[in-house]
Structure formats: structure tokens, C-alpha cells
Structure 1
Amino acid sequence: MKINKITYLIIASFMLVFSACEPIVEEEHLVNSTNIDGVQLVATQSTPGGNEITIDMVTPGITGYWSNKIIGKKLTNKVKFVYPVPGKATFKYTGSLGAEFFTKTINVQIDKLDHPLDQDYYDLVGTNTTAGKTWVFDKGNAGNLWWFMSPPGSPDGAMSVWWNAGDCCGPSDANGKMHFDLNGAPNYTHYETSSAVGTKGAFNLDVINQTLTVEDATMLGSAAGNKNGVYTIVTLTATKMVLYLSNSETYGTGWTFVFRPE
């Protein structure tokens, strides 16, 4: 009998110990600090209709980021920049209300490019950004380097030649051209030959990361290109453009493209 009582006491003691060790969980439920209508986006231009723009999310308690095809993603509530394209521009803010995510946009009308663009834009599309600029392969004489295999992995080796393919086996659009302009949008047109009807697309010049992307059309010489249309800029001046792929999907190597203005 005494043994049974002792056993019960031991079991009861263990139950008290384990119950005392159970954590106390306080459940916290996220709540919205406002609704989407309460999120205020503000856009100001330093001059009326000008292209120097500040966009700002001014509602307290909201966190998020701005995004736009041309300016990319900006992980801050307030951004100031010079926009390169006249016309209506749309900027999207993505953020959290507290308990849920949201997106909201604001439009800005740009009537004049009264603040200078980054020099890369002028080199690519010309000083008359509306009219734009046409580029062709810099073929020159036999043996000239304009479309060739190069080491993969890094643009540092872009001008190292593994195989001068352009000297014997150029792409179908070797005598074609491509046109870039900022007439209401970043417009790109690819011409298979100098007299062919163009295929219209768009381009994105990433000045910070030094990449050039074409969409809905192909880059000149894309027989050695990649489906995503993203090229690393090795050289971009008013008279020369060198683009590079670190891994051509066609050849599995690096590939280099050399252009000049038409």
C-alpha cells in the first residue's frame, strides 16, 4: 500500500514538472494599419512636365519598394531620378499593409527631357533620342573581329578570340541592322537585311549593371544569342558598341558582338 502511494506521488510530481515546463504561447495576429485607398503615392517633377522626378510613398506604417521597367526596383519609399523617355510613365509601389501585401501605381506625364540623361543613352540612341540611332556589324575587312566565339564566364575575356566565326560563317542577319530610339518608349527594331521590313520590340538599358536587353525581337547576330535577350555591355561609345554573352545557348561558350553606327 505504501509503495502504491509513493508511486502515485512520483507520477504526480512528474506531471507538475512537465506542465510547468510547457511554454506559454501568446498568439499575435497581424492587422492592417490602413487599406489600399489610404496609401498615398506622390510624384513631383522638378520642372513642369520635366523628366527629373521624385516618387514618394508618404503613408506612415507602410513598407515596400518602387518598380518600373526602366528604373528597375528601388528598395525605398522615396526615389529621385532622371527619366529618359517622354510620355506617360507608370510607377508601381509594392508593399505591406500589415496583414496583407498590395500593389498601387501612379502615373507621371513627361513632356520634355529638360535634364540630361546618362551618357550611355546618348551613345546608344543618339543625341536626338526621338529619332534614334541605327547600328550595324562592324565588319570592315576580312579578318576583322565582329562576331566571334570568346571565353565563357566573364566579360574580361570578351576580346579574346576562340573562333572568328564572322570570317567564314556569319549569322543570317550579318548584313542587317538594328534601331534604338526613345520616341514615347524604349523602342527597338531588328532588320534581317538592310532592306527588310523591321521587327519591332523594346529595349532596356541598365546603366548601373551595364546590360542591354531586347524584348519581342532579336539582337543582331542572335544566332549565337540567348532567349532572355540580356547582353553585357563591354564598350558603349558614340562610335562603337561591344556586347558579350558569358554562355551562348547555341555554342555553350562565350560570344562577342561588335557594332558601329550605320
Structure 2
Amino acid sequence: MKKFIYSTTVLVTMLISCEPQQMETGKIGPAPINAAITTNATDPHNPIFTAHADNGYIFHWDMGNGQTIAPGANTATSYYPFVGTYTVGVTIYGEGAQEVLAETSYKVTKNDPEIAKKPVWKELTGGGTGRTWVYNTNPATGKPDYCYQTTGDLVNYKDNWMPSASWGQCDRITPDINGEMTFDLNDGVNYTYHHVAGDAGVKGTFILDTEKMTLTVKDPFILDHNAACTNAAAAATGVYQIKKLTDDELVLWQMQTHPTSTPGSGVGWGWSFKRKP
């Protein structure tokens, strides 16, 4: 009898082991909900944002000023030195990559006075109150024409500048030879173009990247941007490399045709300005 029971037990075990196996299906937890951002603006130029969400664990921040923090904690801070309204957003992730977005608007009503004291900003804007730049040339004759063309490899950048009129492509006196351009930080980031000194001017703005040493002019353009003679796509960006900047001199550069493997290939344009006396 014992032998029979044992054999039956083995048979049942074998039959069970031959039955099709069913995998347990994993279940995704609840998605993050009730997302919100609170703001601590004790320091108006360095606010602290805190994100809240039920079932949220990972936070990807867009600070609204060009900075992203991803991944980050549920709190984040950034620097807002200039007047403006910024949209700060955070994407909050939960289980199974489920996500929810929260946004808040942050308004800065006054520039941080410290920004005007920082290198590059101080020289370009005259300490924030405004600095006006004119051509580094003789305005009576327009010569030399300080819009320059040289090879794009920049190897001989300092020694290989040629007045544009000397190589024939733009044989004319610069049309705004008596013009001016002013950069200031008076309740904003302001740029003003004057075709002739004393006219009403055209107001725009600018972006200064002190790490990459680039200046982006937004509406309208720098003095003699040469739309007819330069690469239209390059000119349209409004982005210039700052090759030299002191309290008295500003040199801007823009690549027009990128160099190839051939030495001396490529074309770049440069502009030389001086502080208005």
C-alpha cells in the first residue's frame, strides 16, 4: 500500500509539472498626480522652487532661463539677474515612466545690480548705465572701412584684416559710418542702434555669454552688418564672437564660410569699434 501511495504521489507531481505555466503580469503603480510648484523668493534673483506631486519620485527642471536640471531633487534654484517673466517647469516621473508636468511663472522686476559689476558685462555696458560704441575709424572719410574680411581659419586673424572695399565685393563707404550702438542694463537688457548719431534709434535687446564670449544682437543688428555682402544665414543669427573687449575697444567676429582641410580656406568677417569719446 505504501508503495502504491508513493507511486501515485510521484505521478501527480509529474502531471502538475507538465501543466502550462502562467507568468505573473506586473502591475504599474499609480501615476503622479496633483503636481504643483511653490516659490520662495526671499532672494529675488536666486529663488528656490519646490515641486510637489503624489507618487512622484524623479524631477526634471526647466528653469525658464536656459538652464535645465535633469534629473534633480524636488527643490531647485537658479540665477535670474534680469527683469523679465520666466516660465519655470518641472516634469515629475513616477513608476513606469509615468509623468506629469507642473509650471509656474516667475517675475523679476529689477535687474540685479551686481551683474553690471561682473567682467565683460561691465566693459560692454559701462557698468550697466550704458556704453556707446562707434566705428574705430575716421567718420569724416569713412576710411579705413572697418568692416573686414579675412580667412576663416583665424590663424592670421590679428594680422590679416583687410578693409572690405580693398577686395572689391562691397566697394562703398559704410552707410552708417556715423552711426552708434549702445548697450545698457537700465531696467532690462537693452540694445539701441542709431543709423546716425542723435536719431531716435531702434531699440532691441542682446544676449551676452561670458563663458563662450559671444554676443547675440536681437533686433535690429550691429553697425554695418553687411546683409548684402555676408552669408545671409550667418548674419541672420545675430551671433558674434567677441575677439577683444576693453573699456575702450570692441572687436566682433562672425564666421561666414567654414574652412575646409585646405589651409587658409573659409571666410570670416570682423568689425572693430571704439568707445564713443
TM over 0.5: yes
1:201/1:215 contact within 8 Å kept: yes
Unmatched 5+ residue regions in structure 2?
1-19, 259-265
Quote how far apart the aligned CAs of 1:90 are: 2.0
Q: How is 1:70-109 mapped onto 2 (pairs within 5 angstroms)?
A: 71-76=65-70, 77=72, 78-81=76-79, 83-85=80-82, 87-97=83-93, 98-100=97-99, 102=101, 104-109=103-108
Match of 1:64 among 60, 68, 71: 60
Quote how far apart the aligned CAs of 1:31 are: 5.8
For residue 227 of structure 1, what is the amino acid of its counterpart?
A: A
Match in the other structure for 1:201: 204
User: What is the SS of the residue equivalent to 2:176?
Assistant: coil
Count of equivalent residues: 225
Q: For residues 75 and 166 of structure 1, what CA distance do their matches in structure 2 show?
A: 49
User: What is the SS of the residue equivalent to 1:234?
Assistant: strand
Give me the TM-score of the superposition, normalised by structure 2: 0.66
Q: Deviations over 1:124-147 (max 9, x none)?
A: 1112x2x42211111159875832
Q: For residues 194 and 73 of structure 1, what CA distance do their matches in structure 2 show?
A: 38
Quote how far apart the aligned CAs of 1:241 are: 1.2
Match in the other structure for 2:189: 186
For residue 151 of structure 1, what is the amino acid of its counterpart?
A: T
2:63/2:78 contact within 8 Å kept: no
Unmatched 5+ residue regions in structure 1?
1-19
Cα gap change, 1:222/1:112 in structure 2, threshold over 3 Å: closer, same or farther? closer
Instruction: Answer yes or no: is 1:259 the counterpart of 2:273.
Output: yes
User: What is the SS of the residue equivalent to 2:120?
Assistant: helix
Match in the other structure for 1:133: 131
Match in the other structure for 2:47: 54
1:45/1:54 contact within 8 Å kept: yes
Quote how far apart the aligned CAs of 1:160 are: 4.0
Instruction: Answer yes or no: is 1:122 the counterpart of 2:122.
Output: yes
Q: For residues 224 and 257 of structure 2, what CA distance do their matches in structure 1 show?
A: 12
Q: For residues 268 and 246 of structure 2, what CA distance do their matches in structure 1 show?
A: 22
For residue 91 of structure 2, what is the amino acid of its counterpart?
A: G
Q: For residues 92 and 157 of structure 2, what CA distance do their matches in structure 1 show?
A: 43
Give me the TM-score of the superposition, normalised by structure 1: 0.70
Percent sequence identity is 22
Q: Deviations over 1:200-247 (max 9, x none)?
A: 111111122211111121111211461011111112222111111122
Quote how far apart the aligned CAs of 1:61 are: 2.1
For residue 56 of structure 1, what is the amino acid of its counterpart?
A: F
Instruction: Answer yes or no: is 1:152 the counterpart of 2:152.
Output: yes
2:150/2:269 contact within 8 Å kept: yes
**Higher radius of gyration, 1 or 2:** 2
Range moving further from structure 2, 114-123 or 208-217: 114-123
Match in the other structure for 1:12: none
User: What is the SS of the residue equivalent to 1:122?
Assistant: helix
Match of 2:180 among 171, 177, 196: 177
Q: For residues 24 and 144 of structure 2, what CA distance do their matches in structure 1 show?
A: 73
Cα gap change, 1:116/1:190 in structure 2, threshold over 3 Å: closer, same or farther? closer
Match in the other structure for 1:239: 248
Cα RMSD (Å): 3.4
For residue 236 of structure 2, what is the amino acid of its counterpart?
A: K
Q: For residues 113 and 255 of structure 1, what CA distance do their matches in structure 2 show?
A: 34
Q: For residues 163 and 226 of structure 1, what CA distance do their matches in structure 2 show?
A: 19
Match in the other structure for 2:37: 40
2:111/2:188 contact within 8 Å kept: no
Quote how far apart the aligned CAs of 1:149 are: 0.5
Quote how far apart the aligned CAs of 1:161 are: 2.4
Q: For residues 186 and 126 of structure 2, what CA distance do their matches in structure 1 show?
A: 12
Match in the other structure for 1:5: none
Cα gap change, 1:133/1:90 in structure 2, threshold over 3 Å: closer, same or farther? same
Match in the other structure for 2:215: 212
1:42/1:58 contact within 8 Å kept: no
